[in-house]
Structures are given as C-alpha cells and as structure tokens.
Structure 1
Amino acid sequence: MRKQHSLTIGLLAAAALAACGGSGSDVSDPVVSETPAPAATPGTFTLAGTAAKGAALAAATVKVKCATGADKTETKADGSYSLTLTGATLPCALEVTGTEGSVFHSVVPGSGGSGSYTANITPLTTMMVAQLAGASPANYFADFGSNTAVSPAAVTQALDYIKTAVASITDLGTMNPLSDALVVGNALDQKIDAVMSALTSAKLTLQDVTNNIASNPAAPAVLTTPLAPAAGTCAWLKSGKFRMINPAEPDPKWRHHVLSIDAKALQATDQDGVKLNFEDKGKCLFSVTGSSDGSATGAQVMVASGGVLLAHNQPTANDPRSLAVGLPEQNLPLAEMAGTWSIAVWDNQYSNATANGQVAVLGEIELDAKGAIISDKDCIGIQACTAVAGPSATLTSNSTGGFDLNQGGSKVGRAFLYKSLGGQAVFVFVSDEGNWGVGTRKQALPAALPTVGSVNHYREVSLSGNGSISALREDSNTVTAIDAGSRSVSRLRASDQRGDSYVYDKPRDGLRYRAPNSCTFAGVPGNCAEVVGMPLQGMGINLSLSTVLTPSSAFFNVTVGKPD
C-alpha cells in the first residue's frame, strides 16, 4: 500500500504534462448552428471583395452558395470580384479557385435579403471558416444550404481565434480579414504574406492548419507554437513562452515559472527580467549563459522534435544536478484533459520508498471533461493494472496558467498540458511533496516498426532512486532485427555494444517492454534490468522506467532524440 494520494497525484500530474496549459481558453465552442433561422424574404444583394493568397488571384473562379440562391463570377487582374444575387438570402459561403489550383473559402453571416456585403477570400478567411464550421472549409462549402445558419457572433469569435492563433507571427490588431479593404501591398495583404511565409518556414500547408483548427475549434494556442519563428540552427526551438517545471526547486516561485524565448536571437528572459543567452552546441543542444558577462549558468537545454525543452542543470561542480521540463505555454481548456492517460511518476511516497528515495511507477488514469479522475490504476511492470482506492484528486483551471491539483479541499500541486499541431498531448505535474510525473494519451504505437539498419541518435539523462541525476550523455541505437508478428525490435547501442529487444504495445497500448536479463554485450549474454518504456508520441521523447519498488535499484531515464 502507499500513502493516500501520492500516486493519484502523480498520475493526475502526469496527465497534466500532456496538457501544458489550461487556464481555460479565451475562445469558446464554435457558434454555428444547423438549425434554420426564421426565413428571410429573398431579395437582391451584392457581394464584393478581393481574392488573394498574398498575391492577387487573377481570372479565378468565385462560387457563391447562400441559404437561398447561388452564383459564380471571375476575378479581375487585381483579384477583385463583384456579383449581384437576385432572389437570395444570407448567410452565404464562398469558394475561389485560382488558375494555379489554389482554393480558399469565406463566409458572409446574417439572414437578410438585401444590401451590400464585403467578403474577401484568402488564407486567413479560410482559417476563420474552419473555426466557425469545426470542419473542413471545402466540406462546409459543399454542404452549405438552407439549414446552415451563421451569426455575426460566430464570425467575430472566429476572428478572435485567428488573431490568437497567428499572434506569434503577426499582430492583426483591429483588422478584419473578411471585410477590410484588401489590395496588393496594403497592411492586410502584408499580414497574409507574413502568415503564408510562416507556414512555408514551418513546412506546413494551409490544409494542415485548417485541419488542426477544425479539430481544436476552442484552442487557438495549439497553432501558436508551430507557427512561431524558429532558431536558425534548430527548427524545433520556437519563440514564445515556456512553462519551466523543475520538481527539485524548493522555491515555489521558480518551481514552474515562465521563460520567454526569442529563438531567432537565441536569447531568453526569465520572470524577473534577467536576460540569458543560448549558445548553440549543435543538433538542438544549447548551453545557457548570462547575457551581461557571458558566465555559464550550468544549464544545458535539449530541444525535442515536438518543441518541448529538457534543461539539465548543475550551476557548479559541487551542486546537485536537476532536470527541468519546458512546455510551450498554452491556454487550453480543462476539457482537453478528458480521456485515458498512461502516466509515469517519479514518486517518493510509494510503498517501499523512503523519505530518502524514489521509485518509478506506471499507471493509468481517466479524467472527465470537468477535471475529475473517474478511474485510477496502478500498473507495475507487466502485471495487470489494479484499481486505486479513492478519493482521487481533481484538476481545476488556474488563472495564471495550467491546472491546480486538488485533494480534500486543498491544492496539493500543479499540472501543465501541451498539445502539438498533430494532436498529440503530454502533461507534466509536480506535487507540493516533491513527486512529479508525465502523462501521455493511451493509444497504440504506430503500426509500422522501425526498419532494420535505421539509427536513432539521442541524448539521455538518468534519475536514480537515491536522488542523484546523471551527467548528460549522447549515444545511438541501430535496429538489427524486427519481428512483425510479435512486434519486437532488436537494437545495438553504440557506446558499449549492448544488444536488447523491446516488444511494442506491451504490457499495454503505447508502451514498450524489455524482459529482465535479456541483453547481450558484444554478443555475450549479460544482465540488464526489466524496463517499461513510455514514448511521448509526437514529442521526440522516450521515458524508460524500472519496475522495482526499492529506491536502490530504481531509475527513471529520459531520452531526447537528436535531429538527423
């Protein structure tokens, strides 16, 4: 048995890692309805605007579908168009197809049957349509008809969403991409250019972005990080605010503080306004120095492919090492935590652990949309998971970011959630008692196994049950064999010629398992620990946990993949 709430908090905290944000979104669910508004009297009205993707779309075909009525026209050389519909009523959806094949969408809200309306058709308006529809803009246009209602409030909400989503690229201010004047070279046109340039730099298509918006219509922050400016030598390091979570930090002010990073300048500013420099060490590794005198801080920052930071700290040779996790700061709603999570906890209160030791513990939790844990399980090694007796902790939004962990009417820790553009999520939690953990959504690993001969270069830090943390080391594994039937992958580690084998999706979906004493060293059988691995899918990070419950033999390894 364990002291009540230690693992529960750990599990919950882990879930919070996947969620890295959570003070509640400033964008609510899409305001769009399929319930028809009271029928308006058909009439005559004019739609006009400009179709552009940065450059004007000349001789492009503009199609219009309204609640009643439809029409089409062709743009002029400057991308402008105008058409008059007779016997028609609002709302209307618009689609433009350029001569080079590009397609964009727009919308006109309301329910009237007379007047003149402006509707530009651009990448920004396409993003707005994805948000208010909660669906693919192309599908929305195809299905648009008499039962589709679009209110001005829905369009305003979509505009606010897009302003937040592209804030790391450009400030739209009071601009309205839908209805403001748009001509080549004016302020709005420059904003469109900036957004399209950022998509190109991030190797994203507009469809990638609209798919993400449709999947996250209440969470614009999911777009902010991938669209932010990147470091010239490491595309994974983005500008923005990062929640730096350091479980070993005794001062609550610094245990989960916010660090602002200018990736292009390789500079950062902490919460006290102190400036720091990031010195490039190659392959997305940076050492941190003071900006005033260039003095070393003892911190080395690894950047993972999903945009998460791992900071390995040792101010002086006589100081203990620490490890901090940096999650891109996001303002995600509590409902994003709903679902089932696999969690990995570094726990100092579990059963045989003592005040001077820690053990790695795996578990599963399920949360509802209000942040309550409705299922909490311990999962030791390959044994079947067992239910944990309640009461369980709950999550509530914290106005300063992330979530509070609560139990028995008291706040007992914090949790932070991060969600990538691809939809993968990870959360990190830290309790007031010093436990911390990571959570990732429970889902099977990709069906395709690594290919024989593929090499994974990585950096690794090991946490030991006695409280020590290893130096940062670099190594690589080469895949030597696979068995598709058993989903096993055999590898050879470069540094010591250790061979081992992991079975994927064992003991549960999303995990990897290595049997005890199943390794070889330079071809000779040798002892090695039983390990359960928990890849943080989409993040470029893997956790490897011991299965023993005695601190003297326990470890919690964190591996960060290096870029090719």
Structure 2
Amino acid sequence: MKNIRSGLNGAALAFAASLAACGGGSSDSSTPVTPTATPTGITLSGTASTGTAISGKTVSAKCAIGNGTGTSKDDGSYSVAIEGGKWPCLAHVTTADGTDLYTVAAPASSTATTAMANITPVTQLVVASLAGTAPASYYGAFDATAAAAVTSTAVVAAQTAVVATLTSGGVANVPADPVSTPVTPAHTAALTNLGTTLTNSGTTLADLTTTVATNSTTTVTGVPSVTSGTPSLPADVALRPAASNCAALRSGTYRLVHPKANTALADQYGKIVINDVKTMAITFPDGSTGNWAANGPCRYTGNAGRTDIVVSPSGVVVARYLADDNVTYLMAIAFPDQSHTQAELVGSWNAISLNGNNGLFAGVLIRATVDATGAATPTFCGDPTSATWNTSACTTLPSGTLDFKANPDGGYDSKYGRAFAYRAGGGELMIVEVDGDGSFTIITHQRTNSLPTVGTVNNSWGLSMGPQLTSTSTVSESGNTVTSVDATAGSYVRHTHNPGTTNDHDETLRVNNPFDGYTHRAPGTAPADDGSTATIRDFTALGLRGMGMSVLLLESQKTFFVSVAKP
C-alpha cells in the first residue's frame, strides 16, 4: 500500500509539473509556439580558369543583396554561399600573376537558389561588354541599383557579342554561353587558344577588355559609351596576326573605296583581302593577287613600286596608285570590313568632300544631322559649280536632301552612291562615301576640338587629290611640334618641318574654325629658320578622332589632302 501511494504521489507530481509546463490550470488560453526562421540564401559556383586552373585563390561575390567569399580548389572549382542573398551577382578572383578576372550571374528565375558562373578571361570580356566600362570599376560600385539593370537577357546579349568578337578574331570553339558552360576539356582548349592568340597578336587582355567596353552596344549601365581619341584597333582585328613592320596592319578582309571620275559606281568600291601578313599576300577586288613589300614602318609598295601604301595607327590604309592608263595616279582608302546598323548613323556629323560637277570636283565642307530613318539635313559650305574653292558661303538644304539606308551587303546606300563605316578601337566612327560621279566624302562625328598640349610632336604622311580626282606621284612627309597655345584666341602655334627642306617655320592654327570640329590655318608668310620667308597657304582641316588621320582642303591650291599619322 505504501509503495502504491508513493507511486500515485509521484504520478500526481509529474502530472502537475506537466500542467505547469503547459501553462497550468484549467484555462482555455494558450500561447502558440513560433518556429525558428531559417535564413534563405543563394549559392554561386563555377570554375576559375585561364586554360589553367586558378587554384587556392579567394573568390569574392557581390550581389544585389549580400556578398560572400570562397576559395578555389585545385581544379579551379569554387562555391560561394551568400546568406540572405539576392541575384544578380558579380564575382572576382585574382590570378597568380596578379590579373583580376570577373564574371556575372543572373539566373532567369529570381527565385533560383543556385547559379553557375565561371571566372575566365572570356567572362571578363562579358562583364566589360555588359558594363561598358572597366570590370573592376563596375564591380567596385555594384549595388542594388546597378543590379536592377542586369537581367539574364542582357547577359546573353553580352555573351553573344563577345563570342562574335572572339570568333572574328580567330579564337575558335568559344562556348556560346561561356559563363555557365562547364569548363570541360573543349572549353579549356578555347581558353588556352585565347591566351595563345593574345600572345601571338601582341594584344593584352587589359587592352582587349578596354576595347570591348568602349565599343559595347550591350551595356546595362545607362551611360553612353565614352569614346577615345587615341587611335587603336577594334577588338576582333587586334586579335589577328600583325605585320612585322606595322602593329596596326592585320590579316583579314578590308573594305576598299577608290573614287574615279567617269566610272561606274560599282567599280569605285570593293574588298581586298590581306591573306598573310607575313608574306603580305593580297587578293584584290577583281580576284587577282599580289604582294606588298615593306618600305619602312607601316609603309609599303606594290605593283612593282607603282603603288605607295601607308597605314594609320587605327588600321586605316591609304594608298596612291597608278591607274590602268599607266599615267594617272589615283587615291584609295581601305579599312577592316565591318557591319553597322541604321541606328549608328543617328546624330550630328562633319565632313569634307570633293564634290563633282560635270567631271570637275571642288572642295566642300558639310555639316549634317541624320535622323532614325536615315534622312539627313545638310549644310553645304562651298560651291561645286564654282571655279574657286570658296567654303565661306553656306546653304542649308531640306531634310531628306541626303539620306542613308543600311545595305544588306554591307555599308549604306546613300542618295547618290554608297557609304561604308569603320569603328576604331576607341569607339569612334568614320564614314567614307563615294557617289556615282566620283564625288568623295569623309565623315566624322561633330565635336568641339580641344587645344593641343605644348610639346606635342606630330609626324605624318600626306596624300592628295585635285579637281579631277587625280593624285600626286609621290607621298609627302611632314612634321611639327606645338610650341604655344592661346586659350583666349582658341589658337596654337606649331613649328613645322618638311623633310628635304630648310625653311622650318612657325604657323598659327585656330581650332573650331570656321565651325566646331574644324581647324583653320590662314594664309600668310613667316620667317624661316634658314633666313628665307616661308609662304603659308590656307587650309581647313577636319580631324578624324580615333583614326590617327585628318582630311584637309587647301582651298587656294584646289587640293583635297589626307594626313596619316606615322607610327
């Protein structure tokens, strides 16, 4: 009995304790138990590789919300968990040689908890294309606001652009989706191929990244591309083999424009192919072949010395060649063949033209705005019907007087002829137009010129055409050094030297005269270094920003002149 009572008492105490634990008593009220929240997160993984695994390096990720770090394994694979993270993300790793590489992850579904993003030289270019700026700067400033513009669609567009650039440059078998395609042996081979191509072309990944960013048409930053006035090659061209005596001349197909009076339009443009820059084997528009011979840095001869060729730092080729009559010299211009859209024409433009009238051609300055339909509203300064090249009188014509339409075969159809565009590595665009009568125009974006820096040295070649589109039998050379600037007057003085002469002298040039973007030299005389008096002839010049070239009208001499910077 005693044991039974003790057991009952123990049971009662245990029951009472359980009631107390539940709130006790006979009350109907109770407090629900709230489960502990489990933080949600995302995980970013992939492989860091340059063709060789990037092992034992810190991988850092920054996301729309959250950030995290991880360490790459021996095979380059990594995984970064971001607690409470939200897509999209950027990731970064530094290679053993100190190169910074970046990538991007933007899953199509915002609720995805995992995503793959390789970190390679190719994904570095994808981020450059996506951002339109240096990947390091973009990563440093990446926040929720910047992330809001990054979509899976935008990443696909950037990847497509980069893969097209690399393929055009000769890098084979790059995956269409280099960000998330597993780094298999084939993918590794493509990365190795890129490294080899960079080495063989003399182009660095840093330079290629800058060029891709500057020329991006897939940017999500909302900031217009900032072009560079420093002449350089487009990204794909920079990946091709270079001539031994000219880093600016690469293998590939070049668009050729060669104006000639009384000649069918179709016979004034075409393509040449530099098949091998080691042997300078060339295929001409008619299918014939030949070779150019080096004649100093970025200069060549062809056709048994009858053709003289120079190359600008941006890869534009300008030539003086002997016509089929073996008497007349003509001029031609060529540049790497590219595709361009109608939208690229929208804006304001400056041009210098040799404009025809019954077989004779006169210099004309042209300013124009072009709308989205290609309709241009031009202002012509000069009169092709006049015997004198007087560009002081200007006439604005109605919209649509000139127009441009993209042609599926390349370039544009203009109202009277064909036009072809070239975008150099710095992002600037040059357009070359030839009309059915041989009229020839070189076009660049309108801008306000800055004064040069004192001490700037310029050395150039010069090629010219006269009123019948004929050229001189020789290519001239000249040089100058900027000695002073006058910001108030908008002018500068340069000391000019022409090889083979002794009359070095000073001359004054005014920028943004007669219009923004042009430069004018007034006629006059100046004391020369040899004690003589130098004659200074007037000209109006138009710098082709980013091309390493200028075009000029020497009005009193009735000469259209192309100046090409020497290397």
Q: TM over 0.5: same fold?
A: yes
Counterpart of 2:407 in structure 1 is: 398
Which residue of 2 is the match for residue 287 of structure 1?
Answer: 301
Partner Cα distance (1:86, 1:527) in 2:
76
Task: Tell me which amino acid in the other structure corresponds to 2:70.
Answer: T
2:419 paired residue number: 415
How far did 1:324 drift?
0.8
Does structure 1 residue 230 correspond to structure 2 residue 271? no
Q: Deviations over 1:439-484 (max 9, x none)?
A: 12222334333527x4x44322222225432112343334384344
Tell me the residue number matched to 1:21.
none
In the TM superposition, residue 125 of structure 1 has moved relative to its aligned partner by: 0.6
1:157 corresponding residue in structure 2: 157
Letter in 2 for 1:347: N
Higher alpha-carbon deviation: 43-52 or 122-131? 43-52
Conserved 8 A contact 1:341-1:441: yes
**1:91/1:109 contact within 8 Å kept:** yes
Q: Which residue of 2 aligns with 1:182?
A: 183
Q: Does 1:502 align with 2:508?
A: yes
Report the Cα distance in structure 2 between the residues aligned to 1:149 and 1:217, rounded to whole angstroms: 10
Answer yes or no: is the 8 Å Cα contact 1:182–1:189 preserved in 2. Answer: no
2:405 and 2:482 map into 1 onto residues whose CA distance is 47
Q: 1:536 aligns with which of 544, 549, 559?
A: 544
1:261, distance to aligned residue in structure 2 (A): 1.4
Cα gap change, 1:371 to 1:497, in 2 (>3 Å):
farther
What's the TM-score once normalised by structure 1's chain length? 0.79
Task: Report the secondary structure of 1:460's partner residue.
Answer: strand
Which amino acid is the alignment partner of residue 404 of structure 1? Answer: D
Q: What's the CA shift for 1:46?
A: 4.0
Rounded to whole Å, the distance in 1 between the matches of 2:566 and 2:239 is: 21
Q: CA deviation at 1:44?
A: 5.4
Q: Which amino acid aligns with 1:79?
A: G
* SS at 1:542 equivalent: strand
Output the amino acid matched with 2:164.
T
Residue of structure 2 in register with 1:335 after alignment? 343
Confirm whether residue 561 of structure 1 aligns to residue 565 of structure 2.
yes
Encode CA deviations 1:254-277: one digit per residue, 9 max, x unaligned: 321011213244122234543321
* Partner of residue 484, structure 2: 482
1:441 paired residue number: 445
* Structure 2 Cα separation of the partners of residues 286 and 439 of structure 1: 26
1:391 Cα deviation from its structure 2 partner: 4.6
Compute the displacement of 1:134 (Å). Answer: 4.0
Q: Output the CA distance in 2 between the equivalents of 1:392 and 1:385.
A: 15
The residue that corresponds to 2:270 in the other structure is: 257
CA distance in 2, matches of 1:477, 1:116: 61
- Residue 518 of structure 1 aligns to a residue whose secondary structure is strand
Whole-Å Cα distance in 2 between the matches of residues 254 and 390 of structure 1? 29
1:515 aligns with 2:529: no
1:132 is aligned, of 130, 133, 144, to 130
Secondary structure of the 1:197 match is helix
* Equivalent position of 2:365 in the other structure: 362
State the Cα deviation string for residues 370-411 of structure 1 (Å, max 9, x = none). 3221353426868475433555211110001111112xxxxx
Per-residue CA deviation, residues 296-339 of structure 1 (Å, 9 max, x unaligned), is: 38332211111101121115673321111102211122222222
Partner AA of 1:168 in structure 2:
G
Q: Check conservation: 1:415, 1:430, Cα contact below 8 A.
A: yes
SS in 1 for 2:195: helix
Residue 274 of structure 1 corresponds to which residue in structure 2? 288
**Is contact 1:58-1:78 (8 Å) kept?**
yes
CA pair 443-202 structure 1, distance change in 2 beyond 3 A? farther
Provide closer, same or farther for how the CA distance between residues 480 and 96 of structure 1 changes in structure 2, counting only shifts above 3 A.
closer
- Out of 93, 104, 107, the position equivalent to 1:107 is 104
Indicate the SS of the match to 1:205.
Answer: helix
AA partner of residue 94 (structure 2): T
Aligned length: 500
Secondary structure at the counterpart of residue 409 of structure 2: coil
Using the alignment, how far apart are the partners of 1:403 and 1:381 within structure 2?
29
Quote how far apart the aligned CAs of 1:415 are.
0.8
Match of 1:426 in 2: 430
Alignment-mate amino acid for residue 169 of structure 2: S
Distance in 2 between the 1:366 and 1:231 partners?
38
8 Å CA contact 2:330, 2:465 repeated in 1 = no
Q: What's the CA shift for 1:85?
A: 4.6
- State the distance in 1 between where 2:117 and 2:217 align: 25
**Aligned residue in 2 for 1:306:** 314
Spell out, residue by residue over 1:217-263, the C-alpha distance to the aligned partner (whole angstroms, 9 max, x if none). Answer: 599x9422233321111111112211100111724443210112132
Would the alpha carbon gap of residues 515 and 216 (structure 1) be closer, same or farther in structure 2, given more than 3 Å must change? farther
Report what 1:145 is aligned to.
144
Equivalence for 2:258: 246
Cα-to-partner distance string for 1:160-191 (whole Å, 9 max, x where unaligned): 10112122131235453212333789313313
SS of match in other structure, 1:508: coil
SS of the residue 2:124 aligns to: helix
Counterpart of 1:237 in 2: which secondary structure?
strand
Residues of 2 paired with 1:467 and 1:51: CA distance?
57
Deviation at 1:66, TM superposition (A): 3.6
SS of 1:487's partner is strand
Q: Is the 8 A contact 2:252 2:273 kept in 1?
A: yes
Q: Per-residue deviation at 1:123?
A: 1.9
The whole-number CA distance in structure 2 between the counterparts of 1:541 and 1:206 is 22
Equivalent AA in structure 2 for residue 558 of structure 1: V
Is this contact kept in 1: 2:133–2:213, CA < 8 A? yes
Matches of 2:309 and 2:463, distance apart in 1: 12
Gaps of 5+ in 1: 1-40, 290-295, 350-354, 407-411
**In the alignment, what sits opposite 1:194?**
196
SS in 2 for 1:497: coil
Stretch moving more, 122-131 or 366-375: 366-375
Counterpart residue type for residue 321 of structure 1: Y
Q: Does 1:322 align with 2:330?
A: yes
Q: How big is the shift at 1:120?
A: 0.7
234-243 or 83-92, larger mean C-alpha shift = 83-92
Call closer, same or farther: CA 1:431–1:89 in 2, change over 3 Å. Answer: same
> Which residue identity does 1:236 align to in structure 2?
A
Does the aligned pair in 2 maintain the 1:62–1:95 contact within 8 Å? yes
Q: Secondary structure at the match of 1:153?
A: helix
Look up the equivalent residue of 2:493 and give its one-letter code.
S
Secondary structure class of the residue paired with 2:508: strand
- When normalised by structure 2's length, the TM-score is 0.78
Can you give the 5+ residue segments of structure 2 that lack an aligned partner in the other structure?
A: 1-37, 226-232, 383-388
Secondary structure of 2:524's partner? coil
Say which structure, 1 or 2, has more relative contact order (CA 8 Å, 6+ apart). 1
Q: Report the Cα distance in structure 2 between the residues aligned to 1:70 and 1:335, rounded to whole angstroms.
A: 39
CA separation in 1, counterparts of 2:326 and 2:86? Answer: 75
Distance 1:422 1:463, change over 3 A: same
The secondary structure found in structure 1 opposite 2:179 is: coil
Instruction: Check whether the contact 1:50–1:183 (CA below 8 A) recurs between aligned residues.
Output: no
* Distance change (3 Å), C-alpha of 1:93 and 1:473: closer
Q: Report the equivalent of 2:498.
A: 493
